[in-house]
Amino acid sequence: MKIFPILLLALSLSAPALAAQPDGAAAPEPTGVPGYQGPSASYGGFQGPTGGTENDTVAKALKAWDESPVMLTGNIVERLAGSDDKYMFRDATGQIIVDIDHELFWGKTVTPANTVRIAGEVDKEMFEATKIDVKFLEVIK
């Protein structure tokens, strides 16, 4: 039983060392970085096309099966009254409600004039409008 407090103490003392970057510097914050390109952009990683999910349209998403993956490019035109995370998204083929958690904005400001790319899945509920549950948001321009 005496080993448990010793292990706990050793783990708590080593945690800051494990969280540091290889060169000893603290990890930079990704928010507010010019040219930010996604959740892991400040830490490096693959920068290229996404496979497995087609670039879709709102018209295709409205006809898709529940939980189908989609990637849409267009504009968030308004926040829906009475909701903190539901917005109206529009592209050239129509409009659809999108559910975007605050964390996905990563401190970025998005206006109706911005073109955005969203990736997520179709959410079809009985007696409700079809929505997109957004998992990724990227501001294109």
Residues 7 and 32 occupy one common structural domain: yes
Range of the domain at 68: 55-139
Q: Which tokens sit at 59?
A: 């018209």
- Report which DSSP code applies to 25: P
**pLDDT of the residue at 4:** 61
Mean pLDDT of the region 12-24: 57
Q: Which tokens sit at 67?
A: 């939980």
**pLDDT of the residue at 116:** 93
Q: Classify burial at 89, counting beta carbons within 10 Å of its beta carbon; exposed 0-12, middle 13-18, buried 19 or more.
A: buried
Residues 74 and 32 occupy one common structural domain: no
Backbone angles phi, psi at 138, to 5 degrees: -130, 130
The answer to whether residue 118 is domain-embedded is yes
8 compared with 115, residue with greater pLDDT: 115
85 compared with 4, residue with greater pLDDT: 85
Residues 101 and 59 occupy one common structural domain: yes
Q: Is 87 helix (H, G, I), strand (E, B) or coil?
A: strand
The answer to whether residue 50 is domain-embedded is no
Mean pLDDT of the region 81-109: 91
The answer to whether residue 75 is domain-embedded is yes
The answer to whether residue 111 is domain-embedded is yes
The answer to whether residue 79 is domain-embedded is yes
Mean pLDDT of the region 37-47: 57
User: Is it the case that residue 13 has pLDDT exceeding 90?
Assistant: no
125 compared with 39, residue with greater pLDDT: 125
The answer to whether residue 135 is domain-embedded is yes
| CB-based contact 106:36 (threshold 8 Å) | yes
Angstrom distance (rounded) from CA 25 to CA 19 = 10
Residues 23 and 70 occupy one common structural domain: no
Angstrom distance (rounded) from CA 45 to CA 49 = 13
Residues 91 and 128 occupy one common structural domain: yes
Residues 103 and 59 occupy one common structural domain: yes
Selection from 125, 126, 78, 68 nearest residue 98 by Cα: 78
- Our count of domains for the chain comes to 2
Q: Is 14 helix (H, G, I), strand (E, B) or coil?
A: helix
Residues 36 and 61 occupy one common structural domain: no
**pLDDT of the residue at 105:** 87
**pLDDT of the residue at 77:** 94
Residues 18 and 81 occupy one common structural domain: no
Selection from 46, 44, 42 nearest residue 107 by Cα: 42
**pLDDT of the residue at 72:** 92
Residues 28 and 76 occupy one common structural domain: no
User: Is it the case that residue 67 has pLDDT exceeding 80?
Assistant: yes
Determine if the pTM surpasses 0.75.
Answer: no
Residues 122 and 86 occupy one common structural domain: yes
109's CB contacts (< 8 A; 6+ apart) are: none
**pLDDT of the residue at 49:** 63
| CATH code, domain with 102 | 2.40.50.200
Of the ranges 10-14, 79-83, 87-91, the best mean pLDDT one: 87-91
